């Protein structure tokens, strides 16, 4: 799915003539989505490659960084950029202005304001190479942050354990992260073969739900989607059992609590060294968890159906918690309006909603409530 985002840049206000901006580096959240195109607006800049401006930086790094070269002496405010991404909305984590004297001004995300925008405050920064980060840096920082520490209370250990599951899921499946995490492994080639088919099938189900809310989502065609969905189900089942061993005994308590806390924003963790939030839903694609589980019911030869029955229950019933915690301020939200930055706050004493209705019907009602504006 292609999503267009408008990005406002904080104006650089140099104090002296020789400190006008020479270039800007837009650092996007490494795990949120990938840039597919951008639209030039009127302004004193041109899009360029990072390598053109900084050939000394390591080759192959920083593909999450967009570089802008400014006309000499540019000092005015800059018109918003319009960028198009796929796999979700882009999240601008940092803007680094390199000035003509070589110094930098930086606006970065904070605990209170996760995305940089035109109102962000600029502060004097470090040398450029120290301000940039990419996929490798992100994975390393998150991995370190989630390690248990001596003296961690029981509640924090539980939280880190659940966060670790969603982090492992992200770095193994997200197109922006898996190439780094699974580099050199056979799994990478297989998941890149099947992942597009899985996402196509899930999007088709979502489109059908939104087009006809009272009609059950379509059963996916076995010949088109069966192989990809069965492989992904087996891959994710292994991940579920690794992090939630109680599923082997048919006990869903751990997986229920993990998805409840994740949907409710209780697993959000701020990374101060990067100025980023992690281990939280990033878009309306949170609903794809439940859609994936429900889609398996219509396919043949799916292994570990008992695990998927338990997990799908948590995935579907937590959808309305996600809607409440991350609902955008727009009057009629669309699927593409939901972002990590739209987090409103966690519901107190949240529980998975109980209902005697079939999961398929619960999912249909959840979709209708969450996305009245469509895709």
Could you report the per-residue pLDDT of 160-170, keeping only the tens digit for each?
999 999 999 99
Does residue 80 carry a pLDDT above 90?
A: no
Q: What is the pLDDT of residue 236?
A: 97
The answer for residues whose C-beta is within 8 angstroms of residue 249's C-beta and 6 or more apart is: none
**Percent with pLDDT over 90 in the chain:** 58
Q: What is the pLDDT of residue 268?
A: 96
Rounded average pLDDT over 2-22:
70
Does residue 88 carry a pLDDT above 90?
A: no
Does residue 47 carry a pLDDT above 90?
A: no
Backbone angles phi, psi at 23, to 5 degrees: -155, 160
Cβ contact 65:134 at 8 Å? yes
Does residue 58 carry a pLDDT above 90?
A: no
What span, in angstroms and rounded, lies between the C-alpha atoms of 19 and 103? 8
Q: What is the pLDDT of residue 12?
A: 72
Which of 4-8, 48-52, 179-183, 306-310 has the lowest average pLDDT? 4-8
Does residue 45 carry a pLDDT above 70?
A: yes
Task: Give just the sign of the alpha carbon dihedral 183, 187, 191, 194.
Answer: positive
Cβ contact 261:325 at 8 Å? no
Does residue 112 carry a pLDDT above 70?
A: yes
- The per-residue pLDDT for range 323-332, each reduced to its tens digit, is 999 999 999 9
Q: What is the pLDDT of residue 40?
A: 58
Q: What is the pLDDT of residue 323?
A: 96
Does residue 86 carry a pLDDT above 80?
A: no
Number of Cβ within 10 Å of residue 69's Cβ equals 18
Which of 66-70, 307-311, 316-320 has the lowest average pLDDT? 66-70
Geometric angle at alpha carbon 196, from 192 and 198, rounded to 5°: 110
Cβ contact 295:229 at 8 Å? yes
Does residue 83 carry a pLDDT above 90?
A: no
Q: What one-character DSSP code corresponds to residue 360?
A: H
- The per-residue pLDDT for range 259-278, each reduced to its tens digit, is 999 999 999 999 999 989 99
Q: What is the pLDDT of residue 134?
A: 92
Which regions of the chain does DSSP assign to beta strands (E)?
Answer: 2-7, 21-28, 34-39, 45-48, 65-70, 81-86, 92-99, 104-108, 123-124, 269-271, 276-278
Average pLDDT over the chain reads 88
Q: What is the pLDDT of residue 199?
A: 95
**Percent with pLDDT over 70 in the chain:** 91
Q: Which domains does the chain have, with CATH numbers?
A: 2-132 (2.60.40), 139-370 (no CATH)
Query: What CA–CA distances, in Å, run from 20 to 80, 91, 99, 106?
Result: 19, 26, 5, 14
Which of 32-36, 63-67, 286-290, 291-295 has the lowest average pLDDT? 32-36
Number of Cβ within 10 Å of residue 356's Cβ equals 5
Does residue 34 carry a pLDDT above 60?
A: yes
Q: What is the pLDDT of residue 51?
A: 86
Cβ contact 81:41 at 8 Å? yes
């Amino acid at each position: 799915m292609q999503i267009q985002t408008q990005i406002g840049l904080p104006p650089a206000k140099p104090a002296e003539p020789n400190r006008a901006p020479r270039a800007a580096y837009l650092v996007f959240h490494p795990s949120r989505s990938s840039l597919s195109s951008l639209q030039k607006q009127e302004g004193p800049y041109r899009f360029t490659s990072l390598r053109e401006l900084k050939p000394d930086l390591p080759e192959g790094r920083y593909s999450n960084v967009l570089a802008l070269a400014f006309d000499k002496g540019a000092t005015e405010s800059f018109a918003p950029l319009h960028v198009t991404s796929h796999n979700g909305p882009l999240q601008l984590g940092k803007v680094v202005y390199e000035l003509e004297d070589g110094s930098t001004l930086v606006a970065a995300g904070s605990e209170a304001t996760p995305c940089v925008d035109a109102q962000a405050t600029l502060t004097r920064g470090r040398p450029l190479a120290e301000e940039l980060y990419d996929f490798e840096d992100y994975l390393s920082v998150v991995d370190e942050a989630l390690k248990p520490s001596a003296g961690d209370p029981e509640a924090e250990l539980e939280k880190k354990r659940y966060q670790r599951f969603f982090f492992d899921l992200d770095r193994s499946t997200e197109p922006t992260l898996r190439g780094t995490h699974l580099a050199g492994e056979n799994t990478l080639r297989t998941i890149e073969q099947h992942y597009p088919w899985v996402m196509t099938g899930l999007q088709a189900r979502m489109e059908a739900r939104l087009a006809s809310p009272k009609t059950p989502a379509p059963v996916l065609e076995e010949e088109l989607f069966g192989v990809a969905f069965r492989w992904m189900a087996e891959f994710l089942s292994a991940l579920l059992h690794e992090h939630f061993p109680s599923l082997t005994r048919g006990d869903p308590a751990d997986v229920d609590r993990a998805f409840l806390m994740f949907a409710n924003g209780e697993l959000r963790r701020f990374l101060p060294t990067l100025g980023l939030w992690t281990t939280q839903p990033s878009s309306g694609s949170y609903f794809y968890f439940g859609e994936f589980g429900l889609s398996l019911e219509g396919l043949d030869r799916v292994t570990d159906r008992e695990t998927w029955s338990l997990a799908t229950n948590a995935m579907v019933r937590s959808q309305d918690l996600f809607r409440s915690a991350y609902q955008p301020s727009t009057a009629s939200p669309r699927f593409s309006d939901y972002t990590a930055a739209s987090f409103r706050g966690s519901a107190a004493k949240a529980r998975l909603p109980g209902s005697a209705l079939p999961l398929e019907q619960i999912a249909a009602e959840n979709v209708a409530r969450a996305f009245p504006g469509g895709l």
